[in-house]
Amino acid sequence: MRRVLVSIATLTLFAMPASAQTVDEIISHYIKTIGGMEKIQAVSTLRRRGKFTGGGGFEAVVLQENKRGRSVREEFSLQGMTGIDAYDGKTGWKIEPWNGKKDPESLGEEEMKSILEDSDFDGPLVNYKQKGNKVEFVGMDQFEGTDTFKLKVTIANGDVYFYYLDTDYYVPIKIDTKRLIRGAEREYETALGDYKEVAGWYLPHSIETNTKGSQDKSKVVYDKIEANAPIDDGRFRVPVVAK
């Protein structure tokens, strides 16, 4: 797993001994490693472009646009059609053209929880107290042979994340997610890698996800992430359908 951290190998200045195990120490080192609070807060928008690969080699083009204020738009394009999931800070909606649907619909419960997660511009660890998140250090662990700090993150809607941060560089290399959907718990695993600098902020360019216990994995690789690109607020709002 060390190879995914090659892009930030020059940041060894911030590597700290594994004895620093309090939540605030770990998060402080994490923020320094990825660029520092000033660099992070200087970014107002992010536009990610890349490729999705699913089971059996299934591929699609993906676009994700984020704007501070919890606005996010995600596009998934294949065979000349583009599906959209979006959230403007208040309303979540989608367009699914696969079955001839062209009008926007409301997001389902699981879709809404997922897009709320994606709308957190800095992630749940940055300014976690102001966001009302609870973060606990729950011990040391390993992921693919890499020693990690394991943090339990509980957010306001009850979703729980377990963040595994590499002990040398203090960046997340794995996230376990637990969500309650209609009373049933669902668990997901996410592996993060290929950290690269974007406007002074180191962001993962490779994200692999699967339902816990399943070998059916999906992967998104971003070939370009732009910071502070102008993005109109209308991109996130529900389209008005002509009658």
Side-chain-side CA neighbours of 218 within 13 Å: the count stands at 12
Q: What is the pTM of this model?
A: 0.88
* Beta strands 146-154; 160-166: pairing state: antiparallel
Q: Is residue 241 part of a domain?
A: no
Q: Is residue 71 part of a domain?
A: yes
Q: Is residue 243 part of a domain?
A: no
Residue-wise pLDDT tens for the chain (243 aa)? 444 444 443 343 344 444 446 999 999 999 999 999 999 999 999 999 999 999 777 899 999 999 999 999 999 999 899 999 999 999 999 999 988 888 999 999 999 999 999 999 999 999 999 999 999 999 999 999 999 999 999 998 889 999 999 999 999 999 999 998 888 888 999 999 999 999 999 999 999 999 988 888 899 999 999 999 999 999 999 998 776
Q: Is residue 240 part of a domain?
A: no
Q: Is residue 74 part of a domain?
A: yes
- CB-based contact 156:134 (threshold 8 Å): no
Number of domains, the chain: 1
Q: Is residue 94 part of a domain?
A: yes
Domain extent at residue 114: 2-235
117: domain CATH number? Answer: 2.50.20.10
User: CA nearest 114: which of 140, 145, 85, 143?
Assistant: 85
